[in-house]
Amino acid sequence: MSRKYFGTDGVRGRVGQPPMTVEFALRLASAAAQVLAPDGGRVLIGKDTRLSGYLFEAALEAGFVAAGVDVQLMGPLPTPGVAYLTQKFGCSFGVVISASHNRYEDNGIKFFDGTGGKLSDALETAIEARLDEPATTVESRRLGRAVRVDRSRVEYQDFCRSTLPPGMDLAGLKLVVDCANGAAYKVAPRVLADLGAEIVPIGCSPNGRNINDGCGSTEPGLLQLTVPGVRADAGIALDGDGDRLVMVDHLGRAVDGDQLLYVIAKSRRDLGTLRGPVVGTVMSNLGLEHALGALGVPFRRAAVGDRYVLEMLRAEGGELGGEASGHLLCLDKATTGDGLVSALQVLSIMRREGAKLAELVAAMPKYPQILLNVRTAARLDLRGRPEIAAAVAAAEARLAGTGRIVLRPSGTEPVIRVMAEGQDETLVREVAESIAAAVRAAAA
C-alpha cells in the first residue's frame, strides 16, 4: 500500500489546506492511537513556535484522549528533545508538531516510537489505513487524561550537557547561538550558558510568525555578520525544530553539515572511537568523500533523507552520518538528529584540540555543486528516456571522472532535481544546464 500522507518526515503541508487541517489532525491522532497504543498508553506531544501549533496541539490532544491515551503536553521543545523524553518517560510514542525549516505558514506532524526512533514504513502505512475512519471515542471510564509537563525540559537540557566528555566545560568560549526563533529558543542558550560559555543569542524571540524568517540554519547570514562583529569564537545555527545544525567560524564563514561531519569523523578516527562507515547521501559533497578516503575512513551514500541515512547506519554498523543541510546523526549520543548535541560534539573537539573551527575544516575540500530544479507539468519518470540518458552520458564524459551527476525526482512536487559537482565550477555549471535542458525537452 503506497502512503498518501506520510512523507520522509511525517505529514506536512500548508496550514488550513489538506492534510494540515484540524479535522485531519483529529483523525490522525485516533488512527495513531489505535496502531501505536491499542490498549491505552501515554503520548508525549512537543511542538515548535508556530502560531498554528496551538490548534494542532488541541486537536491531537482531543483525538488521543478520546481514544483512551494519556497525553503529556511538553510545549515548545526541539524534535530530538521529544524523542529523548519519549523514551525516558516510558511513553508509548511521541509526537512533534513542526514543519522543521519551513516558514510559519506550513506545519507538520511526525511521530517517534517508544524507543525514540522514527516509525517504520509499516507502522506509517498501518496508520494511513485507518485515516478514512471517523475518530474513535472509547467509553467514559477508559478516556485518557492530559497534563502539562513543560518544566520537564530541564531533563533534556541535562542530557545534552552529559554528551560532553566528563569534566569538560565551555568556559572561555564566546558563542553566538541562532535558534531560528524556533523550538530551541529556551534550551539551547541555557545549555551553553550552563556549560560556562559566554552567549550572544539571536533568533531567540519567537512571536509565532518569525520562525526560520531570515535566521537559523537555512539563512545564516545574520549569524555570519554577528560572529566576527562581536569577536566570537564560533556561531551555532539551528533550524525551527532544532534537529539541524550549521556553524560559522570566527571569520564569519558558514560551515555546513558535510564539513561538520568530517570534523567529528576525523576526531573519532584519531581517538580510535569511530565505528563502521560514515554515511552521507547522494547529495553529499564529493570533497567529504575524498577527505574521508584520505583518512582511510569508509564512506557510504544513502538516498536523500535522514531516515535513509539512519537505515544504512544500522545496516552497516555505523554511528555517524548526516546531510549537508546539517541533519547529523551521532547514534552513540542520540536516537535521532540533534542540532544542539551535534554542536556540543564540535565544540568539545575545539576545546580538546585547542583549535579554531576554521582550522578543523581546512583539510576538507569543498567542490562546487550546482543544483537546478526543473519543474514539469506532471511527474516525469526518468527511466526509459534515452534523450536524458544521452545528456547525462555526455556530461559525465566532459567531467572525465572529476565530478558527479545526480538526477532525482522530488518526493513532494513535480520537480526533477539536477545536481552536478566537480573541481571546475564553470564546467560543472555547463553540464548541469545541459542536462536540465534535456529534462525540459523531455517534459515538454
Kindly indicate the confidence band of residue 444, based on its pLDDT and cuts at 50, 70 and 90.
confident
Which CATH superfamily groups domain 11-150?
Alpha-D-Glucose-1,6-Bisphosphate, subunit A, domain 3 (3.40.120.10)
pTM of the entire predicted model: 0.92
Architecture of domain 255-361: 3-Layer(aba) Sandwich (3.40)
Q: Is residue 381 predicted with pLDDT exceeding 80? A: no
User: Mind giving me the DSSP string for 366-404?
Assistant: ---EEEEEEE-SS----TT-HHHHHHHHHHHHHHTTSEE
Q: What is the mean pLDDT of the chain?
A: 95
Domain extents in the chain: 11-150, 155-253, 255-361, 369-443
| Domains 11-150 and 255-361 are alike in CATH topology | yes
CATH of 155-253, one of 3.10.150.10, 3.30.70.20, 3.40.120.10, 2.40.160.20: 3.40.120.10
Q: Which three cell numbers stand for residue 136?
A: 474513535
DSSP E strands, 33-190: 41-47, 69-76, 93-97, 106-113, 146-148, 174-178
pLDDT tens-place string over residues 405-435: 999 887 667 889 999 999 999 999 999 999 9
Name the pairing type of β-strands 278-281 and 254-255.
unpaired
The yes-or-no answer on residue 434 being catalytic is: no
How high is the pLDDT of residue 2? 60
Q: Report d(CA 275, CA 290) in Å as an integer.
A: 19
From the list 30, 100, 217, 284, the catalytic residue is 100
Single-letter amino acid code for the residue at 415: V
CB of 402 closer than 8 Å to CB of 426: no
pLDDT tens-place string over residues 72-104: 999 999 999 999 999 999 999 999 999 999 999
pLDDT tens-place string over residues 33-53: 999 999 999 999 999 999 999
How high is the pLDDT of residue 411? 66
> Mean pLDDT across the stretch 5-22?
93
